[in-house]
Amino acid sequence: SQQGEEDPQALSIQEGENATMNCSYKTSINNLQWYRQNSGRGLVHLILIRSNEREKHSGRLRVTLDTSKKSSSLLITASRAADTASYFCATGYSTLTFGKGTMLLVSP
């Protein structure tokens, strides 16, 4: 069963704009992870946020976590065409399960 659900399903923006994707999950977690997938390729790990953290940064990425609402958001600032990809959240105690992803299109 899928633990996380991303929202929106698809997002289209212009280069330079910020992109925000949300993830909701169902059960308690230790950590939550975000991954990126370029079209048809293997997923690549972006960032892990622990359940006792509220916010984490990595370059142009900012992740927030609200365990009371069972939700997380991924913000990509100053988007580039190269950020075009699908983004997935993932969590799970014994085995990692993924949501269906948000497809981000960044137009030049």
Partner 1 sequence: EAQVTQNPRYLITVTGKKLTVTCSQNMNHEYMSWYRQDPGLGLRQIYYSMNVEVTDKGDVPEGYKVSRKEKRNFPLILESPSPNQTSLYFCASSPGGGDDYEQYFGPGTRLTVT
**Pick 95 or 108: Cβ nearer partner 1:** 95
Cα separation, 76 vs 80, in Å, equals 9
The residues that touch partner 1, with contacts defined as CB under 8 A, are 1-2, 29-33, 35, 40-45, 48, 88, 90-101
Cα separation, 72 vs 25, in Å, equals 8
**Pick 32 or 85: Cβ nearer partner 1:** 32
CB of 107 to partner 1, least distance (A): 22
Phi and psi torsions of 82, nearest 5°: -70, -10
User: What residues form DSSP beta bridges with 33?
Assistant: 48, 90
**Pick 41 or 108: Cβ nearer partner 1:** 41
Phi and psi torsions of 81, nearest 5°: -55, -35
